[in-house]
Structure 1
Amino acid sequence: MTQTTADGLRRAVLIVAALNLAYFFVEAGVAINIGSVSLYADSVDFLEDTAVNLLIFLALGWPLARRATMGKVMAVVILIPAVAALWQAIVKFQRPDAPDPLSLILTAGGAVVVNTICSVILLRHREHGGSMTRAAWLAARNDVIINIGIIVVGVITLFLVRNGWPDLILGLGIIALNARAAREVWEVAEEENLAAKALAGDIDDD
């Protein structure tokens, strides 16, 4: 990675981190107010994305082996919102009241805008930072998918089903999506680790 590329990536991840942190407070406040499992899990996801991008900023310039280790840390961090969603789903399962659908739709719509901007910013850099940058891009991409799902849940709750089951089902979907992203990042980190060992002469060619 050239110095120019590294500087561009640093600027990109700082912008993305700032956007995620700002919208975390917006979405978390609304989620708590209306009692939405999916929106709460997504707000935690914004906080996780903030941490991921800040870690990338700090880790740039590290050796390949250390970047591989950080990539594995990122994979674990991506699972945090999934755990939060699971816990909220368990709590909500006991009393599946419907969250306010209009607040759900409007807040998720704002999240789509923020995450789309972040995805576009990171898209040009995802091949340059290894597993760490891939983690950030996957997280932003997954967030857009989740946000669209939340909007659909809001529409269903508004016009079809006046209970919290669609919200709960989406919460389980968030768990699966984040688990898949974590696995992909872990696999890339493993490849980087093998490459680092090969460069160090720890792996025989035969």
Structure 2
Amino acid sequence: MARKFDSKRLVIATHNAGKLREISALLAPFGIECLSAGQLGLPEPEETGTTFAENALIKAHAAAKASQLPALADDSGLSVTALGGRPGVYTADWAERQWFEGDPGRDWYMAMGKVEGLLCEQGDDVDRSCWFSCTLAIAWPEGDEVVYEGRVNGTFSWPPRGTMGFGYDPVFVPEGRDMTFAQLDPEEKHKISHRADAFAKLVAEQFGS
């Protein structure tokens, strides 16, 4: 049996404000106070895993140990069929770190452009199907852990559209829609995203009857 979450405070192992907002919104119905690793000044551990689950667990355990609170980490990424599943687990690495007014950030437009460039090299008829994967890991200071995985299929669209969301959202059109994740109302995105899929599994096991 997986350990059950029984705390009112949860550390979200991220320094990404957009990711914190999404996860906080998904957990709001359960009255859980979410604090980010960034707000607590926790360092970002080196993500040495070769799968989403490995990296999520690395981040969750590091945050739980440092804060002595349960911690939730998400490792997610975009996989493109014509690129053999790349960038996949290296999704964030394709967005090279830049410095903006003294703060480190990632150049997501550069990352999206890399994908588009590689697709264009394969010609006009290239398969643009892709998918977002999300792995959620909860870790406790005592060392317990649970993992949940989600996915949403879609199409890689160019040029980027929309100002909501983050990461590769401006180029991802989910199946059955004609707008990108960055154009969808956040509440609508929360219903269909890869993160929502993983969260549905988490909620069913952690908060279900």
More helix by share: 1
Task: With the length of structure 1 as denominator, give the TM-score of the two structures.
Answer: 0.27
Mark the structure with the bigger radius of gyration.
Answer: 1
Higher relative contact order (CA 8 A, sep 6+): 1
Task: Choose between structure 1 and 2: higher strand proportion.
Answer: 2
TM-score, normalised by the number of residues in structure 2: 0.27
